[in-house]
Structure 1
């Protein structure tokens, strides 16, 4: 009964609303059954007796509901029948205006010439007789903006393999995690660790399948397998190179200068780590996109191990000590005593 009363109230409200002339022919459901047409417009049904649809409930109760609005064209143009059926007080929506320029196509083309934020980093890796040394800085930059000084650019793939990060941080991190998952699945399926050659080839095939899709990756895969130390360079175009030493990033030219001058195949782990540390430091000194801390890792028969992580500011005064004046020396002695 409450529902019937509510619908009856709604019907009376609809009947009291004035109707707009539409100039169209509306056919009621009852008239369709009889093949008759009800003219609306000048001969439209008066508001007091709208087009009625009857719904029978339990018993003899009848409900009246105005359904004439659904029998006309929804949202008809204003020029055809006097305006939209469901507009808001006849207010027209303002159209979007184009920029005030003589050649809009040329204006639109220029909007694509956005400022490209250049990326930068310095990473290196080289093979010597006791394994592989991997080193990198920790600065993340976006053009001239330094977004972080503590980024881990050497990523673990498995306990015997590492990857470096150069290019887009998100791309490198995601695909290194993806590679680590695939290497683990390979190990579970074949009961043996994947080789450095196989891991690098797997990553190169994946990146080649996404060639031309905007990836930005320049990575080195370094590790130790059954054949000994291995080092490969892989980029986002699917290129894959094998070598004894690589440096990737905006500061790689400065790192190569130190690395080529001091590289020897037979070195101790300490000597190899110091060579990598000095090469990364000199790159951070000259390259504005490199900086932060210098992290050095060693990959050997027992897996990878982090050798050091030093701030470049401290390394600067370690490599180029400044002679203190007598007053500064007295202040230093007084603070330590």
Structure 2
């Protein structure tokens, strides 16, 4: 047999009476979901918007960074609280910052908070279904006054008065629903924001570190405080009376109708927060 005849030969498998199974399709590559944890909140006042967040960044059960910044500035009168994947939030907020700068040059005016929310939601809606994890609360002041918009990675955008996002948000809502009022003074608003995040950090294992509090005013945003969660634990415990004291107060005094901030409320419901200016109370 010549060499060229050997090269023409092809190996063949022996014939089998059983049919071979069809090849399995390759599974689609999906990212491994990891639990994220954070506590961010914001609420609107007559004097602006107060925003607060913890500083712990986690990846599953691993604390990636105990001192991260979750309240990011967009421009002089606009902040954003971030919750979700840190890389996604930073990338999209950087893109939003550039889009607002271009819009400012084209129109000759500062875009409003609603315009910023529409730009961010439109970009996220175009990338829906690609595994993005972005939950942002835009806190700003424009020609219409203080504004607060919630934007999610599926393109949802909602104007709100109070919002809390993250794994610790249910615990923060427990205090916000009890004590928030649009007419509360700034000192009480700062104390409420600190205590709400500290209380959530005590209950949620993925939240912790420190608490950053910001206030967006007509003149611009200011960084109010940076407090350690461990030092605020006593404040969170002092927010309300025990069940026995609450029952005694309910028997002696009829609570006022509706909810709201009242520093002179009766029945033991007004609680003075230590470490705040004299007369600061929370319901």
CA RMSD of aligned residues (A): 2.5
Distance in 2 separating the partners of 1:136 and 1:314: 16
Distance in 1 separating the partners of 2:158 and 2:215: 21
Distance in 2 separating the partners of 1:200 and 1:314: 35
Aligned-pair distance for 1:319?
5.0
Aligned to 1:23: 4
- TM alignment of 1:131-280, pairs within 5 A: 131-280=48-197
Aligned-pair distance for 1:265?
1.1
- TM alignment of 1:51-66, pairs within 5 A: none
- Paired residue secondary structure (1:166): strand
Structure 1: any 5+ residue segments left out of the alignment? 1-20, 25-78, 83-101, 322-337
Distance in 2 separating the partners of 1:235 and 1:223: 17
Distance in 1 separating the partners of 2:226 and 2:46: 23
Aligned-pair distance for 1:105?
4.5
- Paired residue secondary structure (1:212): coil
Aligned-pair distance for 1:219?
0.7
Distance in 2 separating the partners of 1:253 and 1:287: 10
After the TM superposition, list the runs of 4 or more consecutive aligned residues in structure 1 that deviate by more than 4 angstroms: 102-106, 111-115, 317-321
Structure 2 vs 1, CA of residues 190 and 139 (structure 1 numbering), >3 Å: closer, same or farther? same
Distance in 1 separating the partners of 2:183 and 2:208: 29
Aligned to 1:298: 215
Distance in 1 separating the partners of 2:3 and 2:57: 66
CA contact (8 A) 2:81 2:138 kept: yes
Instruction: Judging by fraction of residues, say which structure has more helix.
Output: 1
CA contact (8 A) 2:70 2:81 kept: yes
Distance in 2 separating the partners of 1:271 and 1:240: 28
- Paired residue secondary structure (1:233): strand
Flag the structure with more relative contact order, 1 or 2, with Cα contacts below 8 A and sequence separation at least 6.
2
Distance in 2 separating the partners of 1:264 and 1:320: 21
Aligned-pair distance for 1:143?
1.3
CA contact (8 A) 2:196 2:236 kept: no
Distance in 1 separating the partners of 2:139 and 2:67: 22
- TM-score of the aligned structures, taking structure 1 as reference length: 0.63
Q: Deviations over 1:266-295 (max 9, x none)?
A: 122111111111101111010111111100
Distance in 1 separating the partners of 2:47 and 2:88: 31
Structure 2 vs 1, CA of residues 237 and 114 (structure 1 numbering), >3 Å: closer, same or farther? closer
Aligned-pair distance for 1:22?
4.6
Structure 2 vs 1, CA of residues 194 and 113 (structure 1 numbering), >3 Å: closer, same or farther? closer
- TM alignment of 1:284-295, pairs within 5 A: 284-295=201-212
- TM-score of the aligned structures, taking structure 2 as reference length: 0.74
Q: Is residue 308 from structure 1 mapped to residue 208 from structure 2 by the alignment? A: no
- TM alignment of 1:34-45, pairs within 5 A: none
Which structure has the larger Rg over C-alpha atoms?
Answer: 1
Aligned-pair distance for 1:176?
0.5
Aligned to 2:260: none
